[in-house]
Chain A
Amino acid sequence: MSSIGTGYDLSVTTFSPDGRVFQIEYAAKAVDNSGTVIGIRCKDGIVMGVEKLIASKMMLPGSNRRIHSVHRHSGMAVAGLAADGRQIVARAKSEATNYQSVYGEPIPVKELAERVASYVHLCTLYWWLRPFGCGIILGGYDRDGPQLYMVEPSGISYRYFGAAIGKGKQAAKTEIEKLKLSEMTCREGVIEVAKIIYKVHDEAKDKAFELEMSWVCDESKQQHQKVPDFLLEEAKAAARTALEEMDAD
């Protein structure tokens, strides 16, 4: 996976002889070094969760939000360089309000994903810009139901049932594949997401982390919002218990 692109990796406008653009791959590495972010599509909505690695004990819990609302009906969770992520969120908010202003209805999630992906891709086309060092999981609920998209630093965007980015993405993906998402409600999904994040968190390498979760589902009236506190606590407790049971084996 890692190969030195000597000479061909200096600019995002240079292809290597084997057809790779190294700068984009390096940008993806920035995403891989960040805390895990996962999103799942349940039958009645989307749940997204972020493993927020805490840099310092002095940080106030609940600060440094990693999941942002983009409009009433959609939100994005960002992995990678936080400042880059803020820029993308700002752009997405602007696209969403612009669409509403022109067409009179909330932006369809598909359209939003396309616009965000286009914007991320834009920054891979010019030598005076650098690619965004973040991966984005975008979840929303529109007329076509709940939808989950993932946008990579290359500008690729696909629609998913379940997606994971960051440090524990391989382990998280395995866990997500075990779930029967089409039969799960968001309430159950919240518990599962918490369990997965606690499971893929590497105690040895990273000390403390804070779990941040959001959902957009029928229960939240198709509005994107933080998972309510009581449900979050329930999920954290269930995740800790599951972890202890696993350790006990």
Chain B
Amino acid sequence: MASKQPENSLLGPEADSQRTLYPNVTGTSVVALKYKDGILMAADMGGSYGSTLRYKNVERMKAIGKHSLLGASGEISDFQEILRYLDDLILYDNMWDDGNSLGPKEVHNYLTRLMYNRRNKFNPLWNSLVLGGIKNGEKYLGTVSMIGVNFEDDHVATGFGNHLARPILRQEWHENLSFEDGVRLLEKCMRVLLYRDRSAINKLQIAKITEEGMTISQPYSLKTYWEFSAFENPTQGAVGSW
């Protein structure tokens, strides 16, 4: 794939203008867990432009081939670029037409190489990725960050999800969750993120991947509760209020 990146990154100012310095349109946390039949993943549909919630219909989870599901937080355009790379990867895999197909472990490894190599060139793809899937009965759930840190686990999250959702999952996740329990657990995590993450919006999708394939729910909203007594009369007693 041609990019106008000069090979020698010591060239000075012109070379720098090609490198990623900061993200522009970003997605927030992705949370995922293994359950009885496969993987469940949740992400909201927001694309923030700095502190403005500019795009509210961004699908941040996509199916990769027959066996995998990719969710991304961070720069949306870099996510789209990653999807293009994976599209080529899956296409070439399909063209062999030999009865084999790339599984989630292989795709995760590919993504790790991709992210790490870009990081080494000081031109990262500004994403945190969650890659989940199931092949021949074996469930797989892994994550890769923009600096190439990768690992697999029974439940993973990106961004704020690491701080707010993972503790919940550590307490309440167990082997062989049913679909309903898995969704309930994910919704619990997403609700906390909705309350506490400034860049979260109340429009989310939950995707599941099983041996049969990938399905993604229609966007929906979580019920929230704001009637806490501490929220009543918020300005009472505040300096400068009446």
A interface residues (Cβ-Cβ under 8 A, vs B): 65, 68-72, 93, 97, 101, 214, 223-226
Contact = CB atoms under 8 A, between A and B. Distances in A.
A214 B98 CA distance: 13
Interface of B: 1, 84, 88, 91, 94-95, 97
A71 B1 CA distance: 17
Contacts of B1: 101
B91 A72 contact: yes
A97 B88 contact: yes
Contact of B94 (A65, A69, A97, A101): A69
20 contacts: A65-B97, A68-B95, A69-B94, A69-B95, A69-B97, A70-B95, A71-B91, A71-B95, A72-B91, A72-B94, A93-B95, A97-B88, A97-B91, A101-B1, A101-B84, A214-B97, A223-B94, A224-B97, A225-B97, A226-B97
B92 to A, nearest CB: 8
Given A69-B94, A71-B91, A97-B91, 15 more contacts: A65-B97, A68-B95, A69-B95, A69-B97, A70-B95, A71-B95, A72-B91, A72-B94, A93-B95, A101-B84, A214-B97, A223-B94, A224-B97, A225-B97, A226-B97
B113 to A, nearest CB: 20
A149 B84 CA distance: 29
A72 B88 CA distance: 11
Nearest to B95: A69
Contacts of B84: 101
B146 to A, nearest CB: 24
B52 to A, nearest CB: 28
B175 to A, nearest CB: 36
- Point out which of B1, B84, B91, B97 has the most chain A C-beta atoms below 10 A from its C-beta: B97
* For the complex of A and B, 3 pairs with smallest distance between CB atoms: A69-B95, A226-B97, A225-B97
Contacts of B97: 65, 69, 214, 224-226
